[in-house]
Amino acid sequence: MTFTGFPDDGLVFYEGLEADNSKTYWTAHRDAYDICVRTPMLALLDELAAEFGPGKVFRPYRDVRFSHDKTPYKTHQGAVVNPEGRGAGAWYVQISADGLLISGGTWRLESDQIGRYRRAVADPVQGPRLEAEVERLRATGWEIQGDRLVRVPAGYSADDDRLELLKHKALHATRHWEPDDWLHTRETLDRVRAGWRDLQQLNAWFADNVGATTKEPRPRR
């Protein structure tokens, strides 16, 4: 499947969905979503699969059971690549009316993974490796994000090296581009591929030091 860009009609579709997040709007414009959003996203993932692995396109429907915001549809289309057997460290891409977003790292770690993450951050070899990679990414335009504790993690000291990294419960690097003409061309593929390559060392650190959770899957509510 050949990727040729995200058509402008896809961004227009999301502008309309932000204004009218209803089943009526969705049903009337479903073809625009299928043709101008979902199909090119699948094509993008298909072209990246040989290097990064197969991707998953997220459902467009929101889980509103435990949300105060009951709007039924997501106002973006995201997709993720989780390399098989690595456990932690993934790539993410998202299209919306706001443009293109790419990211890599971790978004949600279980308690056993957080424990391994913090031990690796405190390690005199692995900790500096992550610190250097985070600083390199930040210096080249990536935004470092992820859930963090406000206080010092239990078992650690306020004097610990790399305290700010220790506070993280998840960590990912993100880059965003506002809508532009290149988004409708194959240049989008080039930017995603180059960005994901730039995140390989971050993901490798998580794969080597955190890995997969050993906890039982959480039951669906």
**Rounded Cα–Cα distance for residues 104 and 91 (Å):** 4
From the CB of residue 197, how many other CB atoms can be counted at a distance below 10 Å?
13
CA 130, distance to chain mean position in Å, is 18
pTM of the model: 0.93
Mean pLDDT of 154-172: 94
Q: What is the DSSP string of 152-211?
A: PPTT--TTSTTHHHHTBSS-EEEEEE---GGGGSTHHHHHHHHHHHHTHHHHHHHHHHT-
**pLDDT surpassing 70 at residue 220:** no
**Rounded Cα–Cα distance for residues 205 and 178 (Å):** 30
Average pLDDT, the chain: 94
**pLDDT surpassing 80 at residue 201:** yes
Mean pLDDT of 171-200: 98
What does the pLDDT read at residue 63?
Answer: 86
The two tokens of residue 200 are: 């390989």
Q: Is 212 strand, coil or helix?
A: coil
What does the pLDDT read at residue 16?
Answer: 98
What does the pLDDT read at residue 68?
Answer: 81
Mean pLDDT of 50-64: 94
**Rounded Cα–Cα distance for residues 185 and 30 (Å):** 22
